Structure 1
Amino acid sequence: MSTQPPIFLINLDQSEDRLEKSAKRLAEQNITFERISGVYGKSLPDSEINKHYNAQLNRERFYRVLGKGEIGCYYSHRKAWQTIVDRKLDYAIVLEDDFRIAGDLKRVFDTLQTLKFDWKLIKLAAYENRERPIEFNHPLNSEFNLVVHKKAMTGCCAQAITLEGAKALLKATDQFGRPVDTDIQHIWETKVPVYSMMPYYIEQDLEFESDIAAATGKSKIKKRFWQRKKLQICEKIQNKKHTKQIITDLKKALSY
């Protein structure tokens, strides 16, 4: 019989339609969840924003200023990670409220329970349901594979995060200057290897309008073109090196 892990659903107070749809989708599989009240970036005063969002880091590590919606999204995920730490949970699944279910999630839970190595973060959905080249693929059972992409999948629609993973993410992102999913891709900074369990049984519901865009507003954000090009080159080098190391470590853990 499946044992359901804690599931946290990030949902803005004003997004009642998303909450209703999310609750209905989970209830169809008899899955319970706890709502995490999302942080609405547009209403955050500068004093609150500046507790963790660092404008200097943003200038150094990203190619544009973050919108308030992105900052609120980041704060919401940190809130979920902090809940995992405060409750000393072995692991939890963190969902954003724009998901839809594409398979039997109890099979996902069962497979996560069988993992015998110390993982920290496993993605359970892709950003906008996109594909990304795979560097390493390990069969877990007849249904799922554990995958390391050439570059970690973006998006935070659905992720399984352990206690140690949550601690590491909180520590690494106490000060941040990039979007949350971009920082998670920077595995050499967070020290959190990123895996995916595929096929994904959770998908992003693209019919929903972005809450991040709504909370940011319609003002055009200026992009720093040459900064972006420079960062892309540096990050490509670091990502290749550290993805290779993650795969080496994973093979040892899986007794290859």
Structure 2
Amino acid sequence: MSALSIAVISLAPEAPEVRRLLFTLAELGFDATIFPAVDGRKAMPVLEDGESVDHRKALLRRRATLYTGEIACFLSHSRAIKQAYARGDERLLILEDDVEILAGFADVVHAVTALPAEAELVRLMGLKRRRRKVIATLASKWSLVRPLRGWCGTQGYIINRAGMAKFIQHADVISMAIDSFYDCFWETGIRCYGIEPHVLVERAHPSSIAKQWGKVKPNAWTNLRWQVFKLYRGVLMRYYRLAHYSDFYPNAFPDDSVKFARSKSNKKTRYSNSPNTLSR
């Protein structure tokens, strides 16, 4: 049992960049281990007992089947979480092998591990700029925020034991990429937070865990079912946010100083005057 375990998911554990990441973590006082990534670059990965892939639901969600690399990436995260849960770990920090650590990483990780159990998943970086509610200040200058929609990306995050249990409950049937799974928090009930400014950045070259899309099938029937399912999911998302109103409102876009790789800056940024704090 561990208060915090750290898994670096990698297909190339001996690569210089991966060894440098492990060295940096060690210098900061973190004992990280390599979790061998599932390889889906050339073929469909072998599924273990209880694991399955639902391509029909993937078509319903996005009009495309899942690519083998996406399935492998999902399995890599899923198996790392199941292993940590079986060990009895209280929290698991997952890092993909294509990240670089930024200033404040250690302070933020220590602060996140001290948060109450309701912070079930905390992303240390995100790819898309979203409206969010500022919840608390961590380590003097970082903010814990609750995004109104998914941040996109699973390059680095901390998931606690309650979050692991919810993940395991919903993750055996794979119908979407791992970051989409977390972004659909209203389906899983996982309470997802983020850190601003980010304390990780994705290196500017392809990850060793491929995440390309599967084959798109844009026929009329698929498009119709996708539109209906999209409407249904939108209703569920809005109902969840209303049912947990105080978790998400009031909210605002982040300051332009917070960089999101897949979003342009927002010129109409407004701030909430009274950020809440998590009860302890």
SS in 2 for 1:242: helix
How many angstroms apart in 1 are the aligned matches of 2:171 and 2:3? 28
Over the aligned positions, Cα root-mean-square deviation in angstroms equals 3.0
Shift of 1:27: 3.7
From 183, 206, 214, give the equivalent of 1:209: 206
TM-score by length of 2: 0.76
Give deviations 1:60-82, integer Å, cap 9, x for gaps.
33321111100000000001111
Is 1:19 the equivalent of 2:13?
Answer: no
> Could you say which residue in structure 2 is the equivalent of 1:111?
111
Alignment partner, residue 270 of structure 2: none
The change in CA–CA distance for 1:152 and 1:247 in structure 2 (over 3 A counts) is farther
| 1:63 is aligned to 2:60 | no
Q: CA deviation at 1:174?
A: 1.0
CA gap 1:15/1:245 in 2 versus in 1, 3 angstroms? farther
The verdict on how the C-alpha distance between 1:96 and 1:247 changes in structure 2, with shifts beyond 3 A counting, is farther
Structure 1 range deviating more: 57-66 or 169-178? 57-66
Q: CA deviation at 1:48?
A: 2.5
1:1-256 to 2 correspondence within 5 Å? 5-13=4-12, 16-42=15-41, 45=44, 48=47, 51-127=51-127, 130-134=128-132, 136-141=133-138, 142-205=140-203, 207-213=204-210, 221-224=215-218, 226=223, 227-248=225-246, 254=278
Q: Distance in 2 between matches of 1:247 and 1:24?
A: 42
Shift of 1:179: 0.7
1:188, 1:150 → 2: CA distance?
Answer: 11
Partner residue in 1 for 2:268: none
- Measured in 1, the distance between the counterparts of 2:245 and 2:196 equals 16
SS at match of 1:48: coil
Tell me whether 113-122 or 180-189 shows the greater mean CA deviation: 113-122
Q: TM-score, normalised by structure 1?
A: 0.82
Report percent identity of matched pairs: 20
Task: Return 43-52 or 100-109, whichever deviates more.
Answer: 43-52
How many positions carry a matched residue from both structures?
A: 246
Q: Structure 1 CA distance, aligned partners of 2:43 and 2:165?
A: 25
Structure 2 unaligned blocks of 5 or more: 250-275
Looking at secondary structure, tell me which structure has more helix per residue. 1
- Structure 1 spans left out of the alignment, 5+ residues: none
Letter in 2 for 1:7: I
Q: Is the 8 A contact 1:126 1:204 kept in 2?
A: no
Deviation at 1:45, TM superposition (A): 5.0
Q: CA deviation at 1:14?
A: 6.9
Letter aligned with residue 185 of structure 2: I
- Give secondary structure in 1 for the equivalent of 2:146: strand
SS at match of 1:35: strand
Residue 188 (structure 1) shift: 2.2
Distance 1:15 1:48, change over 3 A: farther
Distance 2:194 2:165 in 1: 20
Deviation at 1:158?
A: 0.7
> Structure 1 pair 60/114, CA: closer, same or farther in 2 (3 Å)?
same
